[in-house]
Structure 1
Amino acid sequence: MRSQPFRVLIIDDSDLAREGIRTILASDPTFEVVAEGQCGEEAVELTGTWMPDIILMDIQMPGIGGLEATKRVKDNFPYVKIVMVTVSDDITHLFDALKRGAQGYLLKHLNPESWHEYLRAIAVDEAPMNRELAFRILKEFSTGEQTNTTESPLTTREREILGLVAEGLSNRDISLRLRISENTVKNHLKNILQKLHLENRVQLTRYAYEQGWMGKW
């Protein structure tokens, strides 16, 4: 179990929004806010200075904005997990952020308990993907017929788990579906990510589609 809190950087041009986010995180010792910024440029600069584990990033801000800032941060600091924080559930913006490397998104009106649970899942790579978002990813990344190659390094069980991840199932859902422990699912996912040299569920969804493994299990 991690002994140190996850270091969080808050990026939002609204003073009120930053204060609200800071208050939510202060009630959970799992997280520590190390710095705050008001624009995308500061997101890149402060990430290099503070080396946070997680960035909570607003989408629409002055300057380069949250989407471009996300891309620049991930290009320079790929280990950092970025969660978009917005008042809008416009899936187009959220989808664009995920394509640029973000790991997830939170709506500002959600209750604090939902924030804590979701961010803890993001921090340890366990957050499930919204099913509508998964469908959009498949549609966006589809560039022709599925390859359905036999050259994959994954085992049959790993392909099965990957297909379920791409359909939006959480680790717990997968464990119940396959009647295996949640820890077993986590270990399988670690192996899958390492074998495929991928970083997150968005990339796994694209890979599963390209291999033709969607909806087979």
Structure 2
Amino acid sequence: MLLSQEPDIQVVGEAADGVAATDMAVALAPDVVLLDVRMPKRTGIEACRAIKEATPSAKVIMLTVSDEEVDLYEAVKGGAAGYMLKDSSIEEVAQGVRVVAEGQSLISPSMAVKLIDEFKQMSRPDHQQGPRLRLTERELEVLRLVAKGMNNREIAKVLFISENTVKNHVRNMLEKLQLHSRMEAVMYAVKEKILELP
């Protein structure tokens, strides 16, 4: 509603879930698509991939609740051009739409600061002494799935273990690697080539 009041932005459709969003984006071929990372029926990441596959010219901005989301990497891999926090002001979102429509990439300032801090942390010498070797095979499996953007419930289903067991593995993995968040674990996985980005 607020976006439609911007003189240079025309809202051509709204959808309540990821499946409807994908169908609508394919049918309407908008310049920019705003997607919530967490949506029913199909996640924002899955919808982003499907939209980019069907309508490559559409530019996708992902909206997320927290800058702790590990989904940033999956969103970028899925073709998202922007990644903003939901608490961004309407002016920031509108400006984000304009920037992405012009072909630029966009990450909210707080997310950019977080990423820079995380990369600095990753470059410290004590992170480069092969702690990977201390992980069990199961912890490596969990790390790969975390790095693919899966939550604990999804990981539990894939590995046929309980959600509680997944939580324990994630906690142990972070402790062993001296990491503080799932996002840092993803960055570690990419840096150590445990999970390679294309």
What is the TM-score normalised by the length of structure 2? Answer: 0.54
Q: CA deviation at 1:107?
A: 1.5
Number of aligned residues: 124
Aligned AA for 2:8?
T
Q: CA deviation at 1:64?
A: 1.9
The CA deviation string for residues 37-95 of structure 1, in whole angstroms up to 9 with x for no partner, is 11111122111211111110011111121111111111111111000112222241222
Identical residues among aligned pairs (%) = 30
Distance 1:113 1:141, change over 3 A: same
1:141-156 to 2 correspondences below 5 Å: 143=193
The answer for unaligned runs of 5 or more in structure 1 is 1-21, 145-202, 207-217
Which position in structure 2 is the counterpart of 1:88?
66
Q: Output the CA distance in 2 between the equivalents of 1:79 and 1:95.
A: 20
After superposition, the CA RMSD in angstroms is 2.8
Which position in structure 1 is the counterpart of 2:172?
none
Q: CA deviation at 1:101?
A: 0.9
The answer for unaligned runs of 5 or more in structure 2 is 120-185
Does the 8 Å contact 2:64/2:85 carry over to 1? yes
Q: CA deviation at 1:143?
A: 4.7
Is 1:116 the counterpart of 2:94 in the alignment? yes
SS in 1 for 2:88: coil
SS in 1 for 2:21: helix
- The partner residue of 1:98 within 64, 70, 76 is 76
SS in 2 for 1:126: coil
Which position in structure 2 is the counterpart of 1:57?
35
- The partner residue of 1:78 within 45, 56, 67 is 56
Aligned AA for 1:44?
T
Greater strand fraction, Structure 1 or Structure 2: 1
Does the 8 Å contact 2:96/2:106 carry over to 1? no
Distance 1:126 1:48, change over 3 A: closer
Aligned AA for 1:62?
P
Distance 1:119 1:99, change over 3 A: same
What is the TM-score normalised by the length of structure 1? Answer: 0.49
| Runs of 4+ in structure 1 over 4 Å off | 133-139, 141-144
Aligned AA for 2:84?
L
Aligned AA for 1:63?
K
